[in-house]
Amino acid sequence: MKKLKYYFLAAGLALAVCLFSFKEDLFLVSKNLDIFASLYKEININYVDDTNAPQLMKIGIDAMLDSLDPYTEYVPESEIEDYKLKYVSTQYGGIGAATVLIDGKLFVNDVSEGYPANKSDVKPGDQILKINGIEIKGKDRTQISQLLRGPKGTPVDLTLIRDGKEIAKKLNREEIKQPNVSYSGMVGDGIGYIKLDKFLENSGQEVKDALLNINKENPKGIVLDLRNNGGGILQEAVKIVNLFVDKDQLVVIQKGKNAEKTITYKTQALPISQSVPLVVLVNGNSASASEIVAGSLQDLDRAIVVGQRSYGKGLVQQTFNLPYNSLVKVTVAKYYTPSGRCIQKLDYAHKDINGIAERFADSTIAMFPTKAGRNVYSGNGVYPDVVVNADKLSPVTITMINKSLFFNYANAYWKKNPKLESAKAFQVSDADYATFVNTLADKDLTYQSRTERLLSDLRVEAEKENKSAEVKADLENLKYKLTSSKKNDLATHKIEIKRVLETQIVSRYFYEKGRIEQSFQYDKELAAAKNLFTNQTQMLAILKGDGNYKVIGKPVKETASID
């Protein structure tokens, strides 16, 4: 009885401490809100110059949220529609055309098959002068987007320049659907392939529909491509895992500071492809929901993960409505895959003196067992079972992409060659490549190579150590050799430049589907997946933990992804 009294006393003291802490937190919140409101009022009333009250408030809010993490953000009413398109819905009212600004001029860069721009013969390469009579000169991308988008059925009048002549196009906006699954089907050797670009509304159903069609072909293996998929809705990720694993299996747990934010997600239905061998493709831009799918299927030993280490975003966001039709997206929890690991890479709770979040220390990385006893690790994303080192574009190729130097040649090729037999096997010939190189003669290809950047750093270090005079001649000689070497970059990097050019050209004839199909012939990760399906012994060895972390390709130094 005496012990029971002590228990009640201890419980009472604990409750009192909690209530005191809660009341103290409420007091601090109330106090600081009063200070902020008073400060905001005094500045708006008394500041020497006129102030933009909404802009001032947004700057203050953004600065506050920036101190937390990049995923916690305030969305004012004016940006709600863009927010929904980015994070929630795949539909909007528009004409189905992508644009690019080149030297201050707006051009049609791409059109989507079957939508108003395509049906009205708006073509890549057309320069847009006016939208509904409004000149676009001087407008930014947001303003241009607002002019092109609108309610379904409303008119859009375009004034274009094509081949030096001004032409007019009258279109009616339609509901533009950007599917989550951009491509699915058989890719040879009895292999089914599903490319999932995002986890927005209906993505689970889209993957299911694609999988049902593939199952009709009795595939010997399935590839789920999550490369460059930045994620989306967590619940959609759970539905997709459920397509491949049995009912009532743990997929992910989210754990937050508040008890109501701690939620366990399990599969709710019977799978439709439980036994067909499965490979998931990931890379450094596979994040969030992509990592839930890849990590969960890896933990459950249901799939072999192929590619590069994923991004490392192990955080969950939730939106909350605010007054005046605005909202805030808040990081409310971390998520954990079935083995118990969190794959979050950066520690936003502890930043350096410059306010930059650093990676979690290696000492904090823990090992976890998969369902079959394989070793997987927390932190730093999902590490593939089969590593295929990524090809990195050279500075000259990146420069040409950024300056849209492929654009005009692709349009000229399209005009000269009105028909292309096939997307899948298309390659730019050496003669066509030589023609392309000739178009660059009067173009600015100024760029700094990686070696030149290192040389510049070396020069600075030499000056710091007062050794400039000693190494000056060597540095100048090296600079001369590098400059001479750059003249040969168009030949040295011919293969990768041709591939970028091929992508641009194929899209003119076969749209996005053609781009994807044409890329298969160079796809190292897809080739690695196909090789796995032909070697069941190797697949079983990996899933049992006897052959994981196989590396394909030349090892490269790992670099941190940028948040």
Instruction: State the catalytic residues.
Output: 288, 299, 313
User: What distance in Å separates the CA atoms of residue 545 and residue 550, rounded to the nearest whole number?
Assistant: 11
Q: Are 172 and 154 in contact (CB under 8 A)?
A: yes
User: What distance in Å separates the CA atoms of residue 481 and residue 485, rounded to the nearest whole number?
Assistant: 6
Burial 531-551 (b: 16+ CB within 10 A, else e): ebbeeeebbeebbebebbebe
Helix axis angle for 203-215 and 234-242, nearest 10°, is 20
Comparing CA positions, the residue from 531, 549, 519 lying closest to residue 279 is: 531
- 363, β-bridge pairs: none
Return the percent helix, strand and coil in the chain, to nearest 5. 40, 20, 35
Instruction: Work out the angle at residue 358's Cα, subtended by the Cα atoms of residues 354 and 359, and round it to the nearest 5 degrees.
Output: 175
Q: Which residues contact 363 (CB under 8 A, 6 or more apart)?
A: none
The two three-digit tokens of residue 515, written as one number:
């781009």
Q: Which residues contact 305 (CB under 8 A, 6 or more apart)?
A: 279, 280, 282, 294, 297, 298, 382, 383, 384, 385, 386
Place of tokens 């990592």: 291
Q: What is the DSSP string of 345-367?
A: -EEEEEE-TTS-EEEPPGGG--E
Comparing CA positions, the residue from 191, 188, 222 lying closest to residue 208 is: 222
Alpha-carbon distances, residue 75 vs 66, 144, 317 (angstroms): 13, 20, 14
Strands 375-377 and 367-369: antiparallel
**Can you say whether residue 6 is alpha, beta or left, with left for phi > 0 and alpha for psi between -120 and 50 degrees?**
alpha
Beta strands in 58-123 (DSSP E): 73-75, 91-94, 97-102, 105-111
Place of tokens 């459950």: 300
